[in-house]
Amino acid sequence: MNTKILIVLAVAALAAADSRSRETFSYAAPRDSSEESYESSEAQYNFNYAVDHEPSGNDFGHQETRDHDDTQGLYYVQLPDGRRQTVAYNVEGDSGYLAEVKYDGEARYPDSYESFESFESRETPRYYDSNESK
């Protein structure tokens, strides 16, 4: 009796699996009703953001503008050695990514172990759980 039940369940599982394999799913980009493909050159946007948090030393940002095939942007970051790295880039159509990298400031490195400790001893922010006592 148990064997018959197992055979019936196995046949039902195969039938369900077979019906699912016939379904077709499409993950393609949506098409216009006139069947014209969307070109990436239609994009137009402008965005920017910046973070400058003195206590932690975080200083970075990004700005980008795109008008059809022309993209221009700039991003920057404060490096651990004290310099600021700025990358200005441009992309025109299929020309590729053209970047100009610039460094402002002078790199600072600790001279010895003692100066390394003072170099790294910036006061770090402390975060408390609201349920804990300070």
Assigned domain for 115 exists: yes
Assigned domain for 78 exists: yes
pLDDT, average across residues 75-100: 91
User: For residues 99 and 85, what is the distance between their CA atoms, to the nearest angstrom?
Assistant: 12
Whether residue 105 is predicted with pLDDT greater than 60 in this model: the reply is yes
Q: Whole-prediction pTM value?
A: 0.52
Whether residue 108 is predicted with pLDDT greater than 90 in this model: the reply is no
Domain with 65, as residue range(s), is 42-120
For every residue of 40-87, DSSP letters joined together read GGG-EEEEEEEEEETTTTEEEEEEEEEETTEEEEEEEEE-TTS-EEEE
CA 98, chain centre distance (Å): 20
pLDDT, average across residues 66-89: 92
Summarised one tens digit per residue, pLDDT across range 28-60 is 666 665 555 555 547 899 999 999 998 888 899
Assigned domain for 125 exists: no
Whether residue 88 is predicted with pLDDT greater than 90 in this model: the reply is yes
pLDDT, average across residues 11-34: 65
* pLDDT at residue 132 in the model: 65
User: For residues 20 and 10, what is the distance between their CA atoms, to the nearest angstrom?
Assistant: 16
Assigned domain for 58 exists: yes
Backbone angles phi, psi at 35, to 5 degrees: 65, 20
- Residue that is written with structure tokens 């025109």 in the block: 92
Assigned domain for 26 exists: no
Q: How many domains does the chain have?
A: 1
Assigned domain for 105 exists: yes
User: For residues 94 and 99, what is the distance between their CA atoms, to the nearest angstrom?
Assistant: 15
